Amino acid sequence: MLRLGRREFAPHEPVIMAIVNRTPDSFYDQGATFHDEPALTRVEQAVAEGAAIIDIGGVKAGPGEEVSAEEEARRTVGFVAEVRRRFPDVVISVDTWRHEVGEAVCEVGADVLNDAWGGVDPRLAEVAARYGAGLVCTHAGGALPRTRPHRVEYEDVMADILDRTLGLAERAVSLGVPRESVMIDPGHDFGKNTRHSLEATRRLDEMVATGWPVLVSLSNKDFVGETLDRPVKERVLGTLATTAVSAWLGAQVYRVHEVAETRQVLDMVASIAGHRAPAVARRGLA
């Protein structure tokens, strides 16, 4: 059972984490949710479309203008507090690698710290433990925050993913993070080239076999764009295909931009797998 905030999710229950970027320079929406009202509208829409988790980020993943911890907190803390007030039952995640920001957002109601840079700040897990928050343990191959991979090599990319993410997960539990609130993430694109991300996808069942809930962040990423030779705004179909494969292999949590489309893909895969009944089943019975 995965427990995040006030919510519990069964082992075969797919969970959607909707992305809400509090940045003026997001690679996907170019700042569409940087200001409060558009961002709150996005939260409302995502929840209505089936998102159980809202993932709020104050710094874009790629290189760009320097964003201090103080500025990151300014972009996220008040917004987290407002989302908590308006949506008391939604699970609030904050995408940060900094323990100072993690502390500030947990203080106002964040339920999960999404550490996309693989424990580069070891004190972030300590913050999650202190507040009883969930933690996403991501493989970034040792890359520093906001850097792009350059000629990175792995003898066995999945072996490295498992070694690093399981180490982070076990350390988090040893510090006091609830075991049922820890997720592991292969970190598509982070510290990887496109072939690494494709291999990580087709070998996701090896992560699932560890027993830790697996989170995947696939949405419109560069590995999808390079695989299909498509720009950012034309990667939805590739993203959804990758989502279906990931669901079939047992991933549980999906960090996405397109909530409604992802919900349909996950429901369809769950029904094929026998974990979900069809919404309607009249054909051949009337």
| Residues annotated catalytic, as ranges | 221, 255
- State how far the Cα of 116 lies from the Cα of 56, in Å rounded to an integer: 12
- State how far the Cα of 44 lies from the Cα of 36, in Å rounded to an integer: 12
With H, G, I as helix, E, B as strand and everything else as coil, classify residue 218.
Answer: coil
Among 87, 57, 89, residue whose Cα is nearest residue 73: 57
- State how far the Cα of 227 lies from the Cα of 122, in Å rounded to an integer: 34
Helix (H), strand (E) at residue 217? strand 215-217
Q: Which long-range contacts (CB under 8 A, 24 or more apart) does 200-204 make?
A: 200/157, 200/158, 200/161, 201/242, 201/245, 201/246, 201/249, 202/245, 202/249, 203/158, 204/245, 204/246, 204/249, 204/250, 204/251
The DSSP call for residue 214 is B
Q: Answer for the pair 191, 143: CB distance below 8 angstroms, yes or no.
A: yes
